[in-house]
Structure 1
């Protein structure tokens, strides 16, 4: 792997129109910049990608239902972003390490999450949501953009180890305005860190449209830092998969890379949000016509690969995943509130004892009420 600090070529591809291989009607599109990276993807592999997206959408719906029923405190929906997450994550090597934000439920699915892993953090249970070393995936990051710095730091460690692993980090269009993201790109470009920045441009940073974040395509920013970039139709799972393969190839050869996946958040920012207060219903209908699952289904049916029987199998697998998720969530036993102080220090600490006593007094007010 290259560790020199010579200038690198910094093209920005797809700024006029996001690159695509499958259009919204399910027809193949000729795109010479992506086709070499998708040439070996078979119809069977496309079926697998479709299955993952269908399962993900069902898991996402179950997570929302669990929050509405008071079983988890919050949920960050990813409806509409299935292709961006499944298509990219399926391109990673098993030992590549992912630094997610809080919305990458699909990446969790691809990395082999167990049913409880999806909800443990949102339910507020002890420990991380999952074992990062088993998943090769850092814990979910709530602080906007902070994970990009962590990814670059890990990538610098990869360079020192002379490994060919790659660090991948996900963030949204809103996070692209954060200082952390821009500082991470400065470091990555300066040291040729093997990191792939994946910006899921879902058009809304909570209630602010992407036009407030950037007057031009976000992928156009990366070359200013010395990072080549590509802007891709994030609702086209095959194009995302191909673009991620390209990005990983560049990263393993010593160049950080930036992908902008142009997609859309169909639901709320989180379950604490009401998008009807700021979003035009016509916009939602427009993007519903670009649904990432429907276009792959249309392509595979036209090719005679997807049958009603297979569709039924995928739906059953999705329902089974949702059932296991719900069962794992309901089976969790929440510790007593004061247990939050256990294990903070190896030895007893007077300051901690005072905090525990204060918290106990606070909790007692609820009992009195």
Structure 2
């Protein structure tokens, strides 16, 4: 039984909105492509061209699905949905024919969406008219609906939310849930921004547009971004700020070891876990070997012992046990980071603390040079566990045997 025309639009469901929106965009794009100065018109409306191109696979699938359903159910030819379907198909064919004429490439894409993106490349390759300003060129090269620009903005939203708010001194600026967001946002921002700069280099042979945009990248955005270059500026600023803040945070928490960038994702989560009473250990992984994880644990414990006295209860003996246990994991580690840790421990042995007050290792009020000839300077062991044990003894505690876990 044929469906009543009044119910046909309801049968289309959300596909009616897609087809009506497509009809409006097709009409506007067809008018641009038929204009006498069509390249200039397209250059100033690249967002429309890209929107049509990116939606084309979904539009094609919808047109085919609706046509099959209309034939199977016998929809009347004069009904509103059938008229809509016919007009969208007519405009699609007209745009496809015009795009094929406008393309210069000998090998032209078969799919309309790919042909539109190829036309965008040719228009941008042709370059702007003489006298065009750099900002106008940047707006044309970076339309707001670029997939990479949307990805960069999504990552920047996370980074801005985490690093824009104030945080107490010495506290981590993020929690465990936000660490997972940062792990996804940082590589996403890096990849998206790299693709955007590559696009600028691709369509700006002189390099003037990129140089122009890079000048303002270190300044904080002063108003909500609207154009493509402003969105790039916003994303690049917060990516750079986040990386600088994270680098400074890791250096302060793990000095004198210098964390590698590929270690950042695992270290951020571990630092959050260390804030709890359990004092979580750093687990070895594909990125972190057992010895490297132990080395970073030693650095974290040393950095914690070197800061001012903590607020609230603190067990100094437990801190020394954790330090010695971590040193056992890192016993076989070599290289600049391991040597810097040994030098830090040797320095403490020479600047031993006073009395029995459980103050921090390198607090200035506790540093006293070891008297010459005391027998301690110059006789330190070379392995990390031995240096930790000697540092523990130099902290002013009586000799009670080796620290053990």
TM over 0.5: no
Q: Which has the higher contact order (CA 8 A, sep 6+)?
A: 1
TM-score by length of 1: 0.20
Q: Which one has a bigger Cα radius of gyration?
A: 2
TM-score by length of 2: 0.19
